[in-house]
Amino acid sequence: MKVGFIGLGIMGKPMSKNLLKKGHEVVVFDFNKAAVEEVVACGGVAVESSAEVAALCDQIITMVPNSPHVRAVVFGEKGIAETAKPGTTLIDMSSIDPVESQKIGAELEKLGVDMLDAPVSGGEPKAIDGTLSVMVGGKKETFEKYYDLLMCMAGSVTYVGELGAGNIAKLANQIVVAVNISAVAEALSFAKKCGADPELVYKAIRGGLAGSTVMDAKAPMMINHNFKPGFRIELHIKDLNNALNAAHAVSAPVPLTGQLMEMMQALKCDGAEKDDHSALLKYYEKIGNITI
């Protein structure tokens, strides 16, 4: 299958490489020329704009930071809408506001272009090894058509509902992940403050009910003070902002999400926005006057 891929960042680059590994022809565009060259070295074909991608491909994946970036890629100058043919499908794998997904989809429908919102969870490690979790919204028949393509980059691909439902699921995921990381950081800080070894406490509780994928991924990073980003705090702030906006639009109470947003904003003020979200530990270290 000939696939267009727009957005070769920390996630998009390895995702596009996995499509190439599975035998697909991949046409790529990104403003980061070094990232483009890296994918081209793996067999990708480079073009100079999103419009060129759409002119060559009937199925296009976008993986960009947020709602305005998706809209710019689709409807901006030299965007997808300029050259997309009726029957084209856009699979937006960015994590954006679900309301904006629905608006973009409605505008594309007038051009005869179908759309899925298919955000991912798993961060850079799972993007690299092709085991991402993908949450998909859109027409069921379109989902079924592209299920195998999405599985080239994923360990699981789940249909959630109509367009926008994928991003609703992703925001729910991000709420759970943020609260879980914070709980791990709080527990390790508590252990340290009480005089116990945080690493031994982690080993003691990871096999019980407190254990989780988040704990096993993030507790060792906290213990080793390794905050190399798999998923940056600034991106989690973006997701929580979208979650808060979506929640407020339907009067859904999300008090823990609000608290986590303020904690992450405090870390941003301290210059830690480029750190992995496991750096929530730094918030506890600062207010508790400790170092794990």
Active centre residues (catalytic): 170
**Are residues 274 and 127 in contact, defined by beta-carbon separation less than 8 angstroms?**
no
Give the phi and the psi of residue 121 in degrees, each rounded to 5. -135, 145
Q: Please name which of 48, 32, 44 lies closest in space to residue 2, comparing C-alpha atoms.
A: 44
Beta-bridge partner residues of 117: 92, 137
How far, in Å, are 35, 102, 213, 236 from residue 276 at the CA level?
Answer: 21, 30, 16, 9
**Are residues 97 and 131 in contact, defined by beta-carbon separation less than 8 angstroms?**
no
Q: Please name which of 273, 276, 290 lies closest in space to residue 221, comparing C-alpha atoms.
A: 276
